[in-house]
Amino acid sequence: MDPQGQRPVRRGRTKSRRVKKVRAQVETVAQAYLELLSLRGIEYFFANAGTDFASIVDAFALRLEQGKEFPRPVMVPHEIPLIGMAHGYYLATGRPQVAMVHVGIGTANGLGALIHAYRARVPILLSAGRTPITEDGGPASRDVFIHWGQECFDQAGMLREYVKWDYELRTSSQLEAVVDRALAMAMTEPRGPVYLMLPREVLASPLGEVEFHAQPRYDLPTFHPDLAKIQEAADLLIRAQFPLIITSSAGRSPAAVRALMDLAEDMGIGVISFNPEYMNFPTGHSCHLGFLPDTHVTKADVILVVDCDVPWYPSRVKPKDSAMVIQVGIDPLYSRYPVRGFPSDLTLQGEPAFVLSEITKATAHHQGRDEVRVEARKRALQEIHDDAVRGWKEGARNAAYDKPIDFQWVSYNVNRILTDDTVVVNEWDNGMHPHTIQLPGSYFCTPHAGYLGWGFGAALGAKLACPDRTVVATVGDGCYLFSVPSACHFISQAYQVPILIIIYNNECYEAVKGATRALHPEGWAVRTGRYPLSELQPTGDYEKICEAFGGYGERVETPEQVEPALKRALYAVRQEKRQALLNVICKHP
């Protein structure tokens, strides 16, 4: 696979290619499973074990004794950070990993995190044990009371809507075919998690010598759009008075970021990064118009929607009826969303990097190209961009003396300490407003399924993948609680993956309070100032949880404490190689 995980590397494939096979001596199917995963390039095996893992545990013990490096076992004490780590590792590397949970119970525990991965199109091979099938007759048969109470009629049924493929391994003879198909399904666009159940009897089954293909014999399909539609898109953009690009996830591919920049620069097109999951477009670029479409979408006559599930909120703003909407992506109409009514007058299915590059080529040689119009657009975009940047900076600086601390002031100071080697994993509603991050792969934001608790585990996975980079997780206090923090801090200490966690602690679920105010602006909650079910008071001393696992913790309560606290925390992470947490007490809305 290429470094960004975009497509498999083709290694001189010819008609006379010799199919290479590898033989290995094993004792059980579990040993063969780990051998095959190693052969397929799996580096980490994130797991939360139960009685169904007995043969997996024994197989790992053998591999450690033999000095075999991969896959490396990582014991994660809860399924939420377990799946989050696999998610974050993929974001940082483009390489899918294996996560394994305990039968249906563990599957249920990790389901919310799995939904996040599914909506974010993140491939994970999620495997799970299966309660022993037999009541007696063999050493792997049922032998504790939970083996009856845990069995499901359809274990995969609880998550089938949120995986691309699921199967139960039945015999040792199908092991290679099943694992290769699982990985191929996970990596075929649109990518996503898959689920493989592994019965205890099958894992414990005896084997001798096994033979596997050295490489899987799957060539993943590519998606290219209709070239006539590419030309039509170029025609629309050439004729447009005010074209606009809206994206949420173009940054999942660094090549797409470059292609998006080329198109915007060449044609003078403004770009909105709406609810960004990635660094989609450099904040400092003159064509960057901000993070909200409302001001611009009503003026646009052509809107190019690139890898974006929700380009605007129809209840709040809509394009004018005459505006032409072009949607671009691997699955541009989001076929797995039950309801999504955004128009698509022209639909271009394909890898965004390829589609955008082809549009740029078509516009560059278009007979109707008007350079005077393009240059005028560029000047206008520069003014809009400069005004937006001034507004962001002034908003933060104006909050420099606010007590309690304003969120903007925290983010302003965080941005000042970021360097090119920093990775930010964000899980609160700050978008990228305060961040001047310019490099693809340096910013990841919560996926759009709305599941809380993703950020901490994902940041640990990113740090595991990039040990030489500084990883900063910015989370709300509600998100921190959802992340199973004790499990996350344990992982950071046990596997030496030091990260900086910054809690924006406003002592409530602000999204719940905001929704209540918006829906009932004159309701009882607004009138009385009481918001049941949305407060997180009294707040906890979360910094002490970090300290309990050998980390540096600090409570920050005044604006002048923010910068020096950040420096102390970064010193702990970068120099002392231990985790750090800042519990920043912010305004209570």
> For 228-250, how does the pLDDT look when each residue is reduced to its tens digit (9 = 90+)?
999 999 999 999 999 999 999 99
Domain limit, last residue, from 361, 388, 415:
388
What pLDDT is recorded for position 389?
A: 87
If DSSP states are collapsed to H, E and C, what string results for 494-535? HCCCCCEEEEEECCECHHHHHHHHHHCCCCHHHHHCCCCCCE
Distance CA 489, CA 492 (A): 5
What pLDDT is recorded for position 309?
A: 97
What pLDDT is recorded for position 7?
A: 39
Residues 46 and 192 in one domain: yes
DSSP per-residue string spanning 239-299: H-SSEEEEESSGGGSHHHHHHHHHHHHHHT-EEEE-S-SB--S-TTSTTB--S--HHHHTT
What pLDDT is recorded for position 4?
A: 42
Helix axes 407-417, 371-398, angle to 10 degrees: 110
Taking 3-state DSSP, the helix, strand and coil percentages for the chain, each rounded to the nearest 5, stand at: 40, 15, 40
Q: Is the per-residue pLDDT at 476 higher than 80? A: yes
Per-residue confidence at 14, pLDDT binned at 50, 70, 90? very low
DSSP per-residue string spanning 331-366: STT-TTSS------SEEEES-HHHHHHHHHHHHHT-
3-state secondary structure of 474: strand
What pLDDT is recorded for position 5?
A: 41
Residues 360 and 441 in one domain: no
Distance CA 57, CA 30 (A): 9
Q: Is the per-residue pLDDT at 6 higher than 70? A: no
Instruction: Provide, rounded to the nearest whole percent, the portion of the chain with pLDDT above 70.
Output: 96
Is there a domain that residue 46 lies in? yes
Per-residue confidence at 8, pLDDT binned at 50, 70, 90? very low
Task: Judge whether 484 and 518 are in contact, CB under 8 Å.
Answer: no
pLDDT digits (tens, 9 = 90+) for 299-326: 999 999 999 999 999 999 999 999 999 9
C-alpha torsion 279→280→283→286, nearest 10: 160
Residues 257 and 171 in one domain: no
pLDDT digits (tens, 9 = 90+) for 346-403: 999 999 999 999 999 999 888 788 888 899 999 999 999 999 888 888 888 898 999 9
Task: Judge whether 516 and 488 are in contact, CB under 8 Å.
Answer: no
Q: Is 288 exposed, middle or buried (0-12, 13-18, 19+ CB in 10 A)?
A: buried
More confidently predicted of 223 and 351: 351
What pLDDT is recorded for position 431?
A: 56
Least confidently predicted of 57-71, 209-223, 293-307, 551-565: 209-223
Task: Judge whether 46 and 82 are in contact, CB under 8 Å.
Answer: yes
CATH number for position 467 = 3.40.50.970
Q: Which domain holds residue 429?
A: 399-585
Arithmetic mean of pLDDT, 434-439: 73
Task: Judge whether 503 and 581 are in contact, CB under 8 Å.
Answer: yes
Residues 556 and 429 in one domain: yes
Question: Is the CA virtual torsion 323, 326, 332, 333 positive or negative?
Answer: positive
Smallest CA-to-CA distance from 124 within 67, 169, 162, 168 is with: 162
Task: Judge whether 282 and 438 are in contact, CB under 8 Å.
Answer: yes
CA atoms within a 13 Å half-sphere pointing along the CA-CB vector of 476:
23
Is there a domain that residue 133 lies in? yes
Element (H, E) at 425: strand 422-427
Helix axes 371-398, 254-267, angle to 10 degrees: 120
The token duo for 403 is: 């007590």
Residues 236 and 300 in one domain: yes
For the full predicted model, state whether its pTM sits above 0.85.
yes
Domain limit, last residue, from 161, 185, 213:
213
**Angle (nearest 5°) at CA 502 between 545 and 124:** 85
CA atoms within a 13 Å half-sphere pointing along the CA-CB vector of 416:
14
Distance CA 456, CA 482 (A): 10
Is there a domain that residue 181 lies in? yes
Is there a domain that residue 16 lies in? no
Task: Judge whether 358 and 234 are in contact, CB under 8 Å.
Answer: no
What pLDDT is recorded for position 277?
A: 95
Is there a domain that residue 1 lies in? no
Residues 201 and 110 in one domain: yes
Residues 451 and 354 in one domain: no
Centroid of chain to Cα 248: 12
Per-residue confidence at 453, pLDDT binned at 50, 70, 90? very high
Is there a domain that residue 14 lies in? no
Domain limit, last residue, from 388, 415, 448:
388
Is there a domain that residue 9 lies in? no
Arithmetic mean of pLDDT, 18-36: 94
What pLDDT is recorded for position 198?
A: 97
The token duo for 382 is: 């520069």
Is there a domain that residue 3 lies in? no
The token duo for 517 is: 């105010």
Residues 6 or more apart in contact with residue 173 via CB below 8 angstroms? none
Distance CA 434, CA 536 (A): 26
CATH number for position 341 = 3.40.50.1220
CA atoms within a 13 Å half-sphere pointing along the CA-CB vector of 547:
9
What pLDDT is recorded for position 395?
A: 85
Q: Mean pLDDT of all residues in the chain?
A: 93
Q: Is the per-residue pLDDT at 439 higher than 90? A: no
Residues 251 and 134 in one domain: no
Distance CA 435, CA 273 (A): 13
Residues 445 and 312 in one domain: no
Arithmetic mean of pLDDT, 42-62: 96
Distance CA 522, CA 178 (A): 58
Residues 94 and 147 in one domain: yes
Q: At residue 355, what is the residue type? A: V
DSSP per-residue string spanning 156-206: GGGTGGG-S-EEE---GGGHHHHHHHHHHHHHSSSP--EEEEEEHHHHT-B
What pLDDT is recorded for position 397?
A: 87
The token duo for 276 is: 């960004």
Arithmetic mean of pLDDT, 135-147: 90
Residues 553 and 458 in one domain: yes
Smallest CA-to-CA distance from 273 within 425, 437, 416, 414 is with: 437
Q: Is the per-residue pLDDT at 147 higher than 80? A: yes
Residues 30 and 162 in one domain: yes
What pLDDT is recorded for position 17?
A: 59
Arithmetic mean of pLDDT, 332-349: 97
What pLDDT is recorded for position 59?
A: 97
How many structural domains are present in the chain?
A: 3
